[in-house]
Homo-oligomer: A and B are copies of this chain.
Amino acid sequence: MNRTVGIVLFNDAEELDWAGPWEVLTAAAKDGDKVITVAETLEPIRCAKGLRVLPDQTFDDAPDLDVILVPGGIGTRVEMANVVLTDYVADQAARAEWTTSVCTGSFILWAAGLLDGKRATTHWAAIDEFLGIAPDLDLDREARWVVDGDVVSAAGVSAGIDMALWLVGQLYDVQHARDTQRYIQYDPAPPYGVEQSPSAP
């Protein structure tokens, strides 16, 4: 398919917001596909919970993206006002096949002008904050992710994994998405999760 998937990084991006989709999309990538992290500079990114990551390419030198993924995290409140970043996202989105966000990454899509007239979502705890910024937004409070045209926004943090698996179904086919789901062994079954393993003593 020879697609380039770009995961946009910035300081205080939430780790699992981008690391979940990174795992899904790199696991699904076929020969010729690339998944890269892109950032304003090559300096180490310090994520919201302290993880330090080295971006692969800068906005200036990265190839054009076929799929854009913008994570959330507390840093989105700063980056919404970073026109270098929002211009990059807007410019890439104009030619990309899919533009996606996880969690409050949708704040950045909005700031880049990509949510006008579109339905979207964000982290459950950020819905009211988002409506405070953008009162006319059509936000879905229930969905794990929302598809509107070529813009896809996922709810909080781990919802990015589900959205990325759905995206694999679109980019390739549903069987490949199922195979990827099986590879990452994504068959959680909350609510048993927090009390007891099925095999705990």
Contact = CB atoms under 8 A, between A and B. Distances in A.
Given A124-B185, A158-B184, A197 B143 contact: yes
B53 A26 contact: no
Interface string A140-181: 101111111000000111110111011011000010011001
Contact of A189 (B123, B144, B196): B144
Given A52-B54, A157-B183, A158-B161, A199 B15 contact: no
A194 interface: yes
Nearest to A187: B190
Given A16-B184, A49-B23, A155-B185, A177 B198 contact: no
Contacts of A189: 144
Nearest to A185: B156
B27 A23 contact: no
A169 B174 CA distance: 35
Contacts of A178: 194
Nearest to A188: B162
A125 B27 CA distance: 15
A132 interface: no
24 contacts: A15-B22, A16-B23, A22-B51, A26-B49, A26-B50, A35-B49, A35-B50, A50-B56, A103-B185, A142-B198, A145-B199, A147-B200, A147-B201, A156-B184, A157-B184, A158-B186, A162-B190, A166-B194, A166-B195, A166-B196, A174-B195, A181-B193, A186-B193, A187-B190
Interface of A: 14-16, 19-20, 22-23, 26-27, 35, 37, 44, 49-54, 56, 103, 119, 121, 123-125, 140, 142-148, 155-159, 161-163, 165-166, 168-169, 174, 177-178, 181, 183-190, 193-201
